Amino acid sequence: MIIRNVRILGAEPVDIRIADGVIAEIGPDLPGQDEMDGGGAIALPGLVDLHTHLREPGREDAETVQTGTQSAARGGYTAVHAMANTSPVADTAGVVEQVWRLGREFGHCDVHPVGAVTVGLEGRQLAELGAMADSAARVRVFSDDGKCVDDAVLMRRALEYVKAFDGVVAQHAQEPRLTGGAQMNEGVVSGRLGLTGWPAVAEEAIIARDCLLAAHVGSRLHVCHVSTAGSVEILRWAKSKGWNITAEVTPHHLLLTDDLVEESPVGAYNPIYKVNPPLRTRADVEALRAALADGTIDIVATDHAPHPVEDKETEWSAAAMGMVGLETALSVVQEAMVETGLLDWVGVAQRMSVVPARIGRLAGQGRVLEVGAPANITLYDPSVRTKVDPSAFASKSRNTPYEGMTLPGAVVATFLRGRATVLEGKLV
């Protein structure tokens, strides 16, 4: 099959021939019959998410492996890492293999389960990291995400343990004692609204400690959803030492600020903006954008966190934390990073495909589009602008903070090893 007239990472138009799931030829005016018109779309390597909540097993009312991976494909993703905070928790070989098998069965994108660091995410005892690494799911990323591994001894042991199989510990950096009952970013707005504040130091203290621990034992640390300017400074310092540390930022932390809790198009105290870590200030957003541009923050990860309506459309203090993000991620990154001149499409491909695949040690994903590479391809039209309509999402949940907002760009097609999962913006 030939995809005609696409611009690889925004370069001059070419055709791409796909054979046996692999890119067989790239060039102008390739001969052949079986063809589709790419319409001048930008071709990116299939996106890879290091941080997705698929909710299965246990909360199939919010999302399933099937709907979550359909949502991923619609967003241009060919692989996602499924977080471990399911019910039961993904802390054994049995649970991670179950999630991995469901992903293979549906085939909308590759599913790589994340293994829990501690049994039941309880922070008391290390989970069977080795058994999960050796399982069919071949787990390489371990995280108690949703909770912080706050015990320094356990964190040290986890970092030591994963070295045996080249794994990485992905930390949700949140000092629990400093965030008891916290509802939103601690600052001017939380003071005015009388909501319990979530101080930046609760994130920054854990990141600093974990960087030092990772360096001390010579292991690999990944920092989830960095949200403050101070965290960026700590990471910049730690990376200057040459330590093996990577970090992610979410699309929403690149675009939205905490004053939306006070005043927004959907009113005050709207829990659609309640998320962990919380939305921060304009100065934090600016620092995060600069850090993503200069490589201090390595990647964009969605933290796609689906919740059913009844868990979000309630009073602020009772509402669940989190936002869906897979189907809007690329558009938000275009808005925050490309339209502002901070990143080009080469930079976007690095931060949303190549580097996340490298951190997760995924051999067949995140490859640059060249002859011989697996045909994992996302076609994206950056020229359109559309109003976000959650009722059109493939996700089972609708908790998006972008409803009604006009965002740039649209995923035209997604190919997983040469097979279309999305065509003309619709699931195949």
Q: Show which residues are catalytic.
A: 303
Write the binding mask 109 to 148 for Zn ion: x where contact by CB under 5 A, - elsewhere.
------------------------------------x---
**Would you count residue 248 as binding Zn ion (CB under 5 A)?**
no
Q: How many of the other CB atoms lie within 10 Å of CB of 309? A: 12
Give dist(CA 414, CA 421) in Å, integer: 6
Residue 201 — φ and ψ, nearest 5°?
-60, -25
Nearest distance, CB of residue 331 and Zn ion, angstroms: 22
Residue 286 C-beta: closest distance to Zn ion, Å: 22
Cis peptide preceding 277, ω within 30 of 0 = yes
Helix axes 152-162, 200-217, angle to 10 degrees: 50
Distant-in-sequence contacts of 260-264, Cβ < 8 A, 24+ apart: 260/401, 261/184, 261/189, 261/193, 261/195, 261/316, 262/189, 262/192, 262/193
Residue number, 145 or 311, with CB nearest to Zn ion: 145
**Helices vs. strands in the chain: H and E counts, helices first:** 13, 19
Whether the upstream peptide bond of residue 28 has omega within 30° of 0, thus cis, is no
Three-state DSSP class for residue 361: coil
227/353 with CB nearer Zn ion: 227
Q: Which is nearer to Zn ion, 86 or 376 (CB)?
A: 86
Residues 159-218 that bind Zn ion (CB under 5 A): 172
DSSP code, position 96: H
Element (H, E) at 347: helix 345-349
Q: Smallest gap, in angstroms, from Cβ of residue 247 to Zn ion? A: 13
Residue number, nearest CB to Zn ion:
172
User: What is the smallest separation between the CB atom of 65 and Zn ion, expressed in angstroms?
Assistant: 20
Distance in Å, CB of 416 to Zn ion, minimum? 27
From residue 24, alpha-carbon distances to 2, 10, 362, 369, 370 in Å are: 10, 20, 21, 11, 8
Tell me the residue length of the chain.
428
250 vs 400, which CB is nearer to Zn ion? 250
CA 426 – CA 403 distance, rounded (Å): 19
CB of 227 to Zn ion, least distance (A): 10
In sequence order, which residues have a C-beta less than 8 Å from that of residue 199 and are 6 or more positions away?
Answer: 178, 179, 182, 186
Q: Closer to Zn ion by CB, 66 or 171: give it.
A: 171
* Binding residues for Zn ion, total number by CB under 5 A: 2
Query: Mask: binding to Zn ion, 330-359, rule CB under 5 A, as x and -?
Result: ------------------------------
Residues that bind Zn ion (CB under 5 A): 145, 172
